[in-house]
Amino acid sequence: MKLDSSLSTGRFPTTSRAWGETRAAAQRWLGAAVVGALTLLYAVVNWAWLRANVVTYGWDRMDHLISTLAYNDILRSVNLHSLFAAFAWSDYYPPLVHLVAVAGYKLFGVNEDVAALTNLIYFAILLGAVWNIARRTAGPAVALLATLVVPTFPMIFAMSRYLYLDFALTGLVAASVATLLASERFTRRGPALLFGLALGAAFLVKWTVAAFLAVPLAVVLWRSGALVEAVRHPTALRPDGRRLAVAVLIGLVLASLWVWPARDVAVQQPLGLVLIPLFGLLTAGVVYALLSAVQSRAAAGGEEREDRRGKALANALSAGAVGALTLSLWYLPNVNFLLGFYINAYGKPAGRIWAYDKYLNYIVTEQLSPLYTAVFVLLAAAFLWAWAWRGGLRRLFVLDDTTLVLLAWAVVPFLIFSSRVSTAHSRYLMPFLPPFAIWIAAGLWRLRPVALRTAAVALVLLLGWAQFAVISFDGLDAWRHRFVVSLPTGPVDLLGHGFSIQYPAVGVTNPGFAIAPDALSILERDRQARGRERVTLGLVVNAYQLHEKHFLYQIYTHFPRVLLRELARNWSGRPTYPQLFEMDYVLLDDTHTYRTAEESQRVTERILTHPDDLFNQAFRERHRWDLPSGETILLYERRFAETQPGISPETYQTFMQTLGPELGEGDALILTAPDQAYIMGLLMPEEVPVQVAALPAGGVATEASIATLRDLAQHSRRLFLLSRNSTAVDPSGQIEGWLRANTLPGPEVRINDLRVVAFAPGTPASTAAIPLNAGFAETGVKLAGATLGGMAGTVQPGGTLPLTLFWEAPGDLADLKLFVQLLGPDGALVAQRDTTLSDGVQPNALFIPRAAVPGAYRLIVGLYRDSSGQRLAATLNGRPLPDRAVPIGTIRVGAPR
């Protein structure tokens, strides 16, 4: 075997530069290998976790997944127009995370797991950044240890499995810090430009990046001398005129190519086409930076320190130009995001809190876990003691850049997010975690003697990765209780735990909660069996594991023929109850689910506790699911076909406008056609306490329908039969016949093809309480007497006045019509009933309007010819009556109750 000459002769590179380059290359390869291996491990574990987990818990995670679908639609055809439209679509959240997920969709198909697995990109970035920062801080050994520790922080591996913005932000904040430090106070041009790119990309994930990077950036800028250089030598900021002109020209051309193809979208944004010159100026800054660094205008003969400052200033400006252009892709079209951000973060005075204790609890329970918190506290205490013992407090202001940046990275966001915020959540502070991994690694590596360090490192890594495994796999569930220790204050779970730390398929993520695919499959099978183009689903459910976003993702990917309407929170502003009748299916929870509007809760209770409710007559239960939480989800479907030949909805609207104000408690509507149930459900105000009975299709008086009529007649004050003018809905006449035989007929109204006949409970009188000797000479018809209900007292507004007339009517009565009228104290017509005259006993029911004022009312009766509408002359005891009407009596209408 032939060896390299340098090895065979024993001659080695002796220059420190060559050795340093070799060592740096070896460390880079080691770092790449570690990052690659851990990313591969995460890919395998997360894929297994996502395959086991079918329940996405919460709202925000699903919100971001649904947003990816919107971006996927926008980018069905990728071009300049669609790209600009994508950056302009959301005015609250920047789009980078969603766009990366869409790229995953295009490669592997639209799937929730594909979207979540795009987090591996940010995970690799995070690991690479931690490696580089830790190596700069304390060498490759600490870098290796920190890179092995950070993936085992519960918040890191838990959030890597969901499409939250905060995981991506953690990786890009770490990358920004790593490149910021690598720029060596902006004296290295390449890392400085990468910092600008990483910073801009982080802003394209979430605007909270400023809380994590503003102070670290200020520290490095101040120490670089660039700010001092700009103040002392402002001429250093003067650009080269020729290069600037070229850069502006190129910038405007590129900006026009970006904005003009999507000008229809641009004009809808707050800045409109002003975006072109603004983008042009920002692009010009980057072009200028690429053409040439800003030339230092320092005085001739300046010292080397001044040269470094001038170089730092130029590189800082170049990095700023790159970052500004990158983030402007979203922030310029959506400058109005500031209002939404402020309202969400600080604009809810009633909910603003000091959240220091809350975030400290998050650090212990979710972000680091009790295990790592204990390790960090012990190491920090030991370090601070040693530091103070050696006079470290006197050297507070001579800390190196990395130490100050790490401190600012961790401390400043904690102070910002804890100070009088409207909302506090553990994930908001997540990007401050990498410094803790570096500090833990550095602290462990400083332990002495070596045996103690080795044991401590092994124990920490063993416990950390054991925590990772136990939380990641339900097969290790038996080990979870081993991490619960009993203390005098109570049991303490040493594992990471909290809202964001979830197991794949137990507890709140039990697969029994994932009913959306099953429910939608039922709808799809029905749709195909009935040959329907589309079906609609009204959702009155809004729980952690089951809300509209769970259905929307499934509809987008597998059930595109289902249309969903969210009715639990009911963003439409329309009343919930009528909207149910526009649906083919309704899904609701048997409990008052979380974040359900109060109105929707009342609707659910009404449906579940009133079996005679109109909804339960128009819909029937199709399926139910018993959830692991004890709740029951019920799926209802229409009882009748969606389309029936019948009366237009406008006619029913006219009916409600005409008679709706008269409907109230004690009234009942009797429907004789299936489609009436849905139309009346749409039109009937929820606050009107009217009972509605939908009789079977065809109007056949079955035993069940007769029982319904009998019950209504016993317990209702007034009944309104709604039928069509044709006899198709009541071919045998049995429904109306039963009502006429067992109740008192009231007024009849015809509205286009709709016929409304009113009835009142009661039976006709057998004898005449009021003797009458009234005649109608032209016909030979005589009115022998009448019995009037309500004579003993008063009649209430909205009540019923029973009237029985006793006729002697020989001959042909075909053209004769009876009218019964109630005249108010001022003589005005208040109520009326017209009907065909019949021989013998003729019952009537006159309905008193709800608006009737108290007082004495006159009741009159008469006849008119249907052919001409002319009243017939009437006599009473042989004397002619001047108004051609027979007075029956005086009725007193009392005050409303």
Handedness of CA 86, 90, 96, 102 (dihedral sign): negative
SS3 of 171, please? Answer: helix
Strands 770-776 and 781-788: antiparallel
Angstrom distance (rounded) from CA 265 to CA 259: 9
Q: Among 547, 549, 585, which Cα is nearest to 568's?
A: 547
Answer for the pair 97, 167: CB distance below 8 angstroms, yes or no. Answer: no
Using one digit for the tens of pLDDT, what is the confidence trace for 57-102?
989 899 999 999 999 999 999 999 999 999 999 988 999 999 999 9
- Respond yes or no on whether the N-terminal peptide bond of residue 449 is cis (omega within 30° of 0): yes
CA dihedral 305, 311, 312, 318 (to 10 degrees): 170
Residues in CB range of 462: below 8 A, 6 or more apart:
none
Tokens coding 772: 């009458």
Tokens coding 345: 């973060």
Residues in CB range of 193: below 8 A, 6 or more apart:
289, 315, 318, 319, 322
Answer for the pair 540, 585: CB distance below 8 angstroms, yes or no. Answer: no
Q: Among 470, 517, 417, 508, which Cα is nearest to 169's?
A: 417
Q: Taking residues 355-376, what's their average pLDDT?
A: 93
Q: Among 811, 826, 799, 789, which Cα is nearest to 863's?
A: 811
Angstrom distance (rounded) from CA 507 to CA 733: 59
* Residue 453 in this model has a pLDDT that exceeds 60: yes
Q: What pLDDT was estimated at residue 349? A: 57
Q: What pLDDT was estimated at residue 703? A: 81
- DSSP E strands: which ranges in 578-666? 585-589, 619-626, 632-638
Confidence of residue 135 (pLDDT cuts 50, 70, 90): very high
Answer for the pair 217, 401: CB distance below 8 angstroms, yes or no. Answer: no
Tokens coding 639: 């009882």
Q: What pLDDT was estimated at residue 306? A: 47
Answer for the pair 269, 298: CB distance below 8 angstroms, yes or no. Answer: no
* Residue 851 in this model has a pLDDT that exceeds 80: yes
* Ranges 24-38, 91-105, 332-346: which has the least confidence: 332-346
Q: What pLDDT was estimated at residue 294? A: 44
Q: Cα-flanking dihedrals φ and ψ of residue 622, to 5°?
A: -105, -40
* Residue 350 in this model has a pLDDT that exceeds 60: no
Angstrom distance (rounded) from CA 694 to CA 561: 30
Using one digit for the tens of pLDDT, what is the confidence trace for 207-261?
999 999 999 999 999 999 888 877 887 776 778 788 889 999 999 999 999 999 9
Residue 879 to residues 858, 875, 876, Cα–Cα distance (Å): 19, 5, 5
* Residue 463 in this model has a pLDDT that exceeds 90: yes
Angstrom distance (rounded) from CA 68 to CA 549: 12
Percentage above 70 pLDDT, the chain: 89
SS3 of 804, please? Answer: strand
* Residue 118 in this model has a pLDDT that exceeds 90: yes
Exposure of 893 by Cβ count < 10 A (0-12 exposed, 13-18 middle, 19+ buried)? buried
Answer for the pair 201, 331: CB distance below 8 angstroms, yes or no. Answer: no
Q: What pLDDT was estimated at residue 728? A: 46
Using one digit for the tens of pLDDT, what is the confidence trace for 712-738?
899 888 999 888 765 544 556 678 888
Long-range Cβ pairs for the range 225-231 (8 Å, 24+):
225/185, 225/305, 225/308, 225/309, 225/312, 226/186, 226/309, 226/312, 226/313, 226/316, 228/309, 229/298, 229/306, 229/309, 229/310, 229/312, 229/313, 230/313
* Rg of the chain, C-alpha, whole Å: 41
Q: Among 294, 197, 204, 202, which Cα is nearest to 247's?
A: 294
Exposure of 517 by Cβ count < 10 A (0-12 exposed, 13-18 middle, 19+ buried)? middle
Angstrom distance (rounded) from CA 745 to CA 847: 10
Using one digit for the tens of pLDDT, what is the confidence trace for 3-15?
333 333 444 444 5
Helix (H) or strand (E) holding 671: strand 667-671
Residue 666 Rama label (left phi>0; alpha psi -120 to 50; beta): left
* Ranges 356-365, 530-539, 580-589, 783-792: which has the least confidence: 783-792
Q: What pLDDT was estimated at residue 339? A: 66
Using one digit for the tens of pLDDT, what is the confidence trace for 668-710?
888 877 678 888 888 877 667 788 887 765 555 678 788 888 9
Answer for the pair 879, 779: CB distance below 8 angstroms, yes or no. Answer: no
Using one digit for the tens of pLDDT, what is the confidence trace for 157-183?
999 999 999 999 999 999 999 999 999
Handedness of CA 245, 247, 252, 253 (dihedral sign): positive
Using one digit for the tens of pLDDT, what is the confidence trace for 528-547?
999 999 999 999 999 999 99
CB atoms within 10 A of CB 208: 21
SS3 of 291, please? Answer: helix
Strands 619-626 and 632-638: antiparallel
Average pLDDT score over the chain: 87
Output the pTM of the full model: 0.82
Q: Taking residues 851-862, what's their average pLDDT?
A: 92
Answer for the pair 834, 817: CB distance below 8 angstroms, yes or no. Answer: yes
Exposure of 430 by Cβ count < 10 A (0-12 exposed, 13-18 middle, 19+ buried)? buried
Percentage above 90 pLDDT, the chain: 59
Angstrom distance (rounded) from CA 697 to CA 720: 18
Residues in a beta bridge with 636: 586, 621
Long-range Cβ pairs for the range 274-279 (8 Å, 24+):
275/332, 275/333, 276/252, 277/252, 278/328, 278/332, 279/251, 279/254, 279/255, 279/325, 279/328, 279/332
SS3 of 53, please? Answer: coil
SS3 of 749, please? Answer: strand
